[in-house]
A and B are shown apart, each in its own frame.
Chain A
Amino acid sequence: MKIAVCAKYVPEATAARRIDPQTKRLDRSGEGALNPFDVNAVEEALKLGEAAGADDGEVVIVSLGPERALDAMRRALAMGADRIVLVADEAAAGSDLVATSRILAAALERESPDLVLFGQQADDADGAVLWAAVADRLQRPLISQVADLTLEDGKVRGKRQTEYGYDVIDAPLPAVVAVSDAINEPRYPSLKGIMGAKKKPQETLSLADLGVPADEAGEAGSRTTVQALSDPPARGDTVKIEDDGSGAEKILEFLQERKAL
């Protein structure tokens, strides 16, 4: 059983975020981390592997990002994943959904896993659509928004949350599944895991290695553009205070002032 987890390198949650007015892309020059929503997908992959109990099980992290993303991706190795495949190529920077899904699908085809897992969304771009594009390129069945996942007899069963409640969906392997962040509580890496992570295989690939032409990646391979940045429609002022013991009183005063009681 081989499980691939698609993971994204995103700016640290605590870092101030800005959009570069020149490129109109998110400034990614600061510290980065493994997308927190993808940590749930890594945990689920490890759990499924453990439940299957087979010795030949493998969890591989597949990512598209700059070379320094490897440092952040190692957290998945420390948790227990077996290796990383990182597609790092300057020509891939600025890839939109069409280009990103093409590159990831090429990397996944090279691995041909039994199951591909995605996290619920990207923490930086709020994107929550990539899995469906990748599933279409791989021509594999898809289950998204999965709050509970089981694996048996060559198929996955996912409990999908929708606007109307929960659906139970089956898909034969190989399949693509996107999990919700409520599906599990990710484990913390053990000290032994952290020590061992550096020694695990970490492969960096170029677009050429995958046979993806440079003009089908990055901005050249994208089909959407950012034309301008503007201020959003005004919303009233927001006030943020630290609770010094009088937080409850301050809320009450505010509600009285605004005649909300």
Chain B
Amino acid sequence: MKFLVFLEDHEGRLQKDSLGVLSKAASLGGEVEGVVLGSEIEGLAAEAGRFGAQRVHVLDDVLLGAPLPQPRVDALENLLRDRGFDAVLFAASVLSADVAAGLAARLDAGLNYDLADLVVEDGKLVGKRPALGDSVYADVGWTSEPCLALVRSGTFEPAESGGSAEVETFESRLQDFSLAATMVERAHEESEGPSIEDADVIVAGGRGLGGPENFALVEELAKALGGAVAATRAVVDAGWYPYAAQVGQTGKTVSPKLYVAVGISGAIQHKVGMQGSGLIVAINKDPNAPIFEYADLGVVGDLHEIVPKLTELVRARKAA
């Protein structure tokens, strides 16, 4: 098979997940090529060679400076029509999900998303797509070419193969409607204090806390356990807690030894950021919350009762 991997860049680096997908494609065999679309991105293509790309297509255009999806659809459409690929692989992100879906419509090509694995069976690509809160895996296929695949974030680790890629630049016309949306401002907070990515213990709070003032409950428990505090996307967007603490698909991916989820329903966008945790304990008043399907211990109850009590018990136990 001939694969094209969409390589996303951020601040002069190729994004780790897209290098992971590149390594996976290389392990499936066949021809593996990458594509980098952006502005002032020379140098990135060579990096892709070390992770398994035999050739990297580069479009360096000031109009691609902002990470917006629609002009990237135009560029990929042109590259695919010129060069032909059996499959185009994307590592899920805010940007690449929009690029992949736009490309699917443009080419009338099938897109399977949220894939947890990729295999080649009888010369055909098959994706593994978790469903119903990951309780079932569906084997999904394509009836069109190219096959478009969007891989769940954090699925494949980059593996250095030490190769080098041939770099080819290309040009593409960008459509007017694709350039209509413009980036006004990029407000990226710098994280302060110890990173949650390095913590052994994390206590995370979600909307079930009821209000920003109740994050004190989470902070107290984290302190007692010697851990860091994390938050879900919903409470970060609502302004209850800083973005730097956000775990999930848009946010950090963490794998502490212990993850305590307080008032978190555990929808998929949160799960992909913490499913690698050693032990997961969940406290939530809704017995149907998805988090109970993958928490090692789930307690259905009022977090306002349980969390302060647990904090005291942990303190007493540590003092003993």
Contact = CB atoms under 8 A, between A and B. Distances in A.
B175 A132 contact: no
B177 to A, nearest CB: 4
Contact of B132 (A19, A161, A237, A240): A19
A161 B110 contact: no
Interface stretch (A43-51, A86-94, A123-131, A196-204): A123-131
Contacts of A180: 233, 237
Contact of B251 (A140, A144, A163, A261): A163
Interface string B229-255: 000011111100001000000110000
B63 interface: no
Interface stretch (B41-49, B156-164, B208-216, B298-306): B298-306
B189 A165 contact: yes
A167 B130 contact: no
A182 interface: yes
Which of A128, A183, A241, A258 has the most C-beta atoms of chain B within 10 angstroms of its own C-beta?
A128
Interface in A230-261: 230-232, 235-243, 247-252, 254-256, 258, 260-261
B181 A169 contact: yes
Interface string B92-112: 011101111111111011111
Interface residues of B, number: 97
Contacts of B120: none
B105 A133 contact: yes
B300 A243 contact: yes
Given A171-B180, A225-B142, A166 B188 contact: yes
A136 interface: yes
Contacts of B2: none
Interface string B33-69: 0000000000000000000000000000000000111
B135 A232 contact: yes
6 contacts: A96-B110, A98-B110, A223-B109, A224-B142, A255-B314, A256-B317
The 8 residue pairs across chains A and B that have the minimum distance between CB atoms: A243-B301, A223-B110, A182-B237, A165-B188, A248-B309, A132-B101, A129-B101, A133-B105
Interface of B: 10, 67-70, 73, 93-95, 97-106, 108-114, 116, 126, 130-132, 134-144, 150, 175, 177-178, 180-189, 201, 225, 233-238, 243, 250-251, 257-258, 268-269, 278-279, 281, 283, 287-288, 292-302, 305-307, 309-310, 313-314, 317-318
Interface of A: 13-14, 17-19, 24, 26, 96-98, 101-102, 121, 125-137, 139-145, 147, 157, 160-172, 175, 180-183, 222-232, 235-243, 247-252, 254-256, 258, 260-261
